[in-house]
Amino acid sequence: MKTSLGAKTLAYPTPVFIVGTYDAQGKPNAMAVAWGGICCSKPPCLAISVRKATYTYGNLVERRAFTVSIPSQEHVVAADYFGIVSGRDVDKFAVAGLTPVRSDLVDAPYVGEFPLVLECKVVHVHELGLHTLFAGEILDVKAEDACLDAEGRLSAELVRPFSWAPADNAYYALGEKLGRGFSAGKALETKGA
Amino acid sequence: MKTSLGAKTLAYPTPVFIVGTYDAQGKPNAMAVAWGGICCSKPPCLAISVRKATYTYGNLVERRAFTVSIPSQEHVVAADYFGIVSGRDVDKFAVAGLTPVRSDLVDAPYVGEFPLVLECKVVHVHELGLHTLFAGEILDVKAEDACLDAEGRLSAELVRPFSWAPADNAYYALGEKLGRGFSAGKALETKGA
């Protein structure tokens, strides 16, 4: 039996994207965003949704650029902090003891200590309501060398990312591998053929 | 040191949204979508991106409605299957042995056996490139009673969802709880005040 929970933003998993921007004075800012995800393969694009009231919103409109830094599990406290306070009031990088690194491709900073970074140029802006969706074209992805396996491929086990669960108001680690994509379902494919 | 991996759709985590639609003849279809996420809090909206070549794309344009069924970890094979084959060629629900349940709110079916369902009305369509983004207003969320805790709240530990890791071409379980939101970062907030 299913029970109705109402019209709510409940889904699993949602990401923990740390969105890096510069303000008008060039001060780096970082904000935690869970409303977002990859939205196009060609050109490669990632969407983030932010409220107009955020400091990041003004920076996005002004600079038309952002980065997404993906934290490891040891960065939960900093990631949560980035979602609690506003960059209007404080230099969040300085308080968190993290390094804003200027992207060489877009006009935005990323978190130097975080393992995975996507550098994005804003290509679409869509008003949805309380949130505005910014679609950014991914110009490059940069990963810590320690997160690449012996073949030079990015590895979830080495990045050790985590997710946000809005229903639970909690962060969860990425857990055990359950199966390979475009593979686990092949038994059913044969059945249906 | 960070290494450039190029302009790619690499992020952690991405969701495994099983998107339910009806075709012109009323045949239910289900498709696995990893490019998507919550995109607005008010009205509550969820975005999915699909290629024009998919059967789901035509259904979305025609019916302006979809559901997202979120699978549990025991549904990995079915979820992967929903991403391998096209509903043009086969009745995926029938092959997977799963039940298409007609939503009472939108013109779309959901997967009866999956623990969490979002019923969405298409409110925005944005062409991004290879993918088209459909933003759906969430009209209701329905959860299996077995996934609600003693206080009637949805629980990640009971839903047991999983995520997709595009870099690894693999599914990963939701793992251990790392901390509470708007809480873990409070120590830094005090430091910055």
Q: Tell me what pLDDT residue A189 has.
A: 84
Does residue B131 surpass a pLDDT of 80? yes
Backbone torsions φ then ψ of A74, nearest 5 degrees:
-75, -5
Residues 6+ away with beta carbon under 8 Å from B74 = B160
Chain A CB within 8 Å of residue B111 CB: no
The sign of the torsion formed by the CA atoms of B142, A9, B129, A117 equals negative
Is B1 in Cβ contact with A83 (below 8 Å)? no
Whether the bond into A166 is cis, omega within 30 of 0: no
CB contact under 8 A, B2 and A81: no
**A88-95: long-range contacts at Cβ-Cβ below 8 A with a sequence spacing of 24 or more?**
A88/A55, A90/B192, A90/B193, A91/A27, A91/A28, A92/A29, A92/A30, A92/B192, A93/A28, A93/A29, A93/A30, A95/B188, A95/B191, A95/B192
**Would you say the C-alpha torsion B52, B57, B61, B67 has a positive or negative sign?**
negative
Measured in whole angstroms, how far is the alpha carbon of residue A64 from the centre of its chain? Answer: 17
Closest by CA to A41, choosing from B126, B7, B171, B30, is B7
Specify the higher pLDDT residue, B186 or A36: A36
Structure tokens given for B142: 């329905």
**pLDDT for B149-169, tens place per residue?**
999 999 999 999 999 999 999
Task: Identify which of B70, B179, B185 has the shortest CB distance to residue A12.
Answer: B70
Residues of B in contact with A118 (CB under 8 A): 10-11
What was the pLDDT predicted at A193? 65
Q: Which residue ranges in chain A fall short of pLDDT 70?
A: 193
Measured between CB atoms, which of A140, A161, A186 is closest to B6? A140
pLDDT digits (tens, 9 = 90+) for B32-69: 999 999 999 999 999 999 999 999 999 999 999 999 99
Q: List, as ranges, residues 128-147 from B with C-beta within 8 Å of A.
A: 128-131, 133, 135, 137-145
The reply to whether A150 touches chain B by the CB within 8 Å rule is no
Answer yes or no: do B68 and A11 touch at CB < 8 A: yes
- Contact present, B143 and B154 (Cβ < 8 Å): yes
Flag whether pLDDT at B193 surpasses 70: no
Interfacial B residues in 23-82 facing A (CB < 8 Å): 34-47, 49, 51, 68, 70, 73, 76-82
Q: Is the peptide bond before A43 cis (omega within 30 degrees of 0)?
A: yes
User: What average pLDDT does this structure show over B9-27?
Assistant: 97
CB–CB contact B172 A159 (8 Å): no
Residues of B in contact with A15 (CB under 8 A): 11-14, 37
How high is the pLDDT of residue B89? 87
Which residue of A9, A145, A192 is in closest CB contact with B85? A192
- The verdict on a CB contact (< 8 Å) between B38 and A184 is no
Nearest-CB residue to B39 (from A131, A164, A177) = A131
The per-residue pLDDT for B92 is 96
ipTM score for this prediction = 0.97
Q: Is B156 on the interface with A (CB under 8 A)?
A: yes
> What is the identity of the amino acid at B45?
C
